[in-house]
Amino acid sequence: MKEPKVLIIVPAFNEEETLTHVINDITANLPGTDIVVVNDGSSDATGAVAESLGVTALHHPYNLGIGATMQTGYKYASRNGYDIAVQVDGDGQHMANQVSALLIPIAKGEADIVVGSRFLGLGEYSPSLARGAGIRFFSKLVSAIIGEHITDTTSGFRASGKRTIKFFSGHYPDDYPEVEALVILHKLGFKIAEVPVKMSERVGGKSSITPTRSVYYMVKVLLAILIDMIKKHN
Amino acid sequence: MRIYQVLSILGSLTMFGFVVDFVRRGLLKEKYSVLWLACSVAILILSVQKGLLDLLAGYLGIAYAPSLLFLVAFLFILLIMLHFSVVISILHEKNKTLTQELTLLQEAIKEAGLLSANKKRKK
C-alpha cells in the first residue's frame, strides 16, 4: 500500500508567540509532512510569521471563527488530494510527536476520524473544576448519542480520513465545532475512534474560553447537538 | 371617522409609499418588500373599515378594538424580523464560502508565482 498523503492543518488566530514553536515541533517530529497554516484574520504578526516559516499559509481577510478556519483547511486538503488531515492547534497545546498515534486507525481503515484524548491514561491533564465538569458532561452526552464511549469530545487534536475531509470541506460547524462535528459524523455513519495522547500546557497566548464564553459554549453546543439530531444532513 | 383611524390610515399609506418608492429606486429588492407591503395594506384595511376592526376584535375578545391594530402590526414585525434572521443566516453562509474561496484562490495564485508573498496582503 502506498504511503497516505498527510496534511497538518494549523488554525491560527493571533498566535505569533507560539506559531514558530508549533511549526518547528511538527517539522522536527514529522519531517516531510505538508503543513498548512490557516491564519484567521489575525491582527498580530501571525500571517508574517507563517510566511517566514516556509509552510503553506492561507490568510482569511477577516476573522471568520474557528469553524470556518478549520473548514478552509479541509477545503485545501480536499482539493489537493490529501488522504489524511490532522488538526494541530496553533497555541502549542498539541504535540507533534503524538500525531502518528492518530494516523494509525485511519491508515488501517478502522476509522474515519480519530480523536486524540487526554483522558485515556497518557499525560496528566487535570482541567479546572468547571471545565472538567463541562468536559465530562459533553463526554457523557455524546457517548450516549453515539453509543460508544468518547472521553474527550472537546479535543481539537484529531485526524480525518479522505471521506471525512470531503464531508468537512462542504459542511463544518461554525463556532465551537469539535463536539458538534462528532455528532454529525456519527449520524451520517462515519466511524469515530479515540486514541490516548499527551498534551502540553499552552506555551503562550491565552485560551479563548472565558467564563462568560464558557456559558455560551455550553448553551450553544447543547443546542447545536439537539438540532443536529433532527436536522437534515446530506 | 375617529382620529386614530385618520392617523393609522396616514401612517400605513406613508409606509406603503416609502416601500414602493424604495423598490422603484432600487434601494429595496421586491423580494424583501412583500412583507412590508402586506403589513401596510392590512393596517390600512383595518383602519378604513372600522366595522371589520370591531368585528374581529369582538371575535378575539379584545375590548378596545384599536389595540388590534397594534397586535397586527406587532405580529407583522415579528414575522419580518424572523425573515431577516433567515436571510442573514443565508448571507452569512454565502459570505463565509466566498471568503474561503478567495483565501484558497489567493494561495493558488501565489503558488503559481503570480503574486509575491507579502505584497498584496494588508497587515
Residues B23, B30: contact at Cβ < 8 Å? yes
Which of A58, A62, A80, A172 is the best residue to mutate to test the B interface, defined by the most B CB atoms within 10 Å of its own CB? Answer: A58
Residue B36: partners with Cβ closer than 8 Å, 6 or more residues away: B15, B19, B80
Spell out which residues of chain B touch residue A64, defining contact as CB-CB under 8 Å.
Answer: 96, 99-100
What are residue A160's DSSP bridge partners? A85, A113
Are the beta carbons of B99 and A58 separated by less than 8 Å? no
Shortest distance, CA B76 to any CA of chain A (angstroms): 27
What are residue A12's DSSP bridge partners? A39
Domain at A207, CATH number:
3.90.550.10
Q: pLDDT tens digit string along A173-197?
A: 987 899 999 999 999 999 999 999 9
Residue numbers of the domain that contains B98 = 3-111
Mean pLDDT of A100-122: 91
* Nearest chain B residue (CA) to A173: B93
A75 → closest Cβ in B100, B106, B118: B100
Q: pLDDT tens digit string along A143-155?
A: 998 888 999 988 8
Q: Distance of CA B92 to CAs A11, A27, B60, Å?
A: 20, 36, 40
**The total number of structural domains that make up chain B:** 1
pLDDT band at B120 (very low <50, low <70, confident <90, very high): very low
**What ipTM goes with this model?**
0.86
The answer to the question of residue B122 being in a domain is no
- Report how many helices (DSSP H) and strands (DSSP E) chain A contains, helices first: 8, 7
Residues A224, A180: contact at Cβ < 8 Å? yes
Higher-pLDDT residue of B110, A204: B110
**The total number of structural domains that make up chain A:** 1
Q: Is the pLDDT of residue B73 over 80?
A: yes
The answer to the question of residue B121 being in a domain is no
Shortest distance, CA B79 to any CA of chain A (angstroms): 22
Q: pLDDT tens digit string along B7-39?
A: 999 999 999 999 999 999 999 999 999 999 999
Residue numbers of the domain that contains A27 = 6-230
The answer to the question of residue B93 being in a domain is yes
Q: How many CB pairs under 8 A join A and B?
A: 41
Question: How long is chain A?
Answer: 234
Are the beta carbons of A68 and B96 separated by less than 8 Å? yes
The answer to the question of residue A1 being in a domain is no
Q: Is the pLDDT of residue B122 over 50?
A: no
B123 → closest Cβ in A47, A56, A76: A47
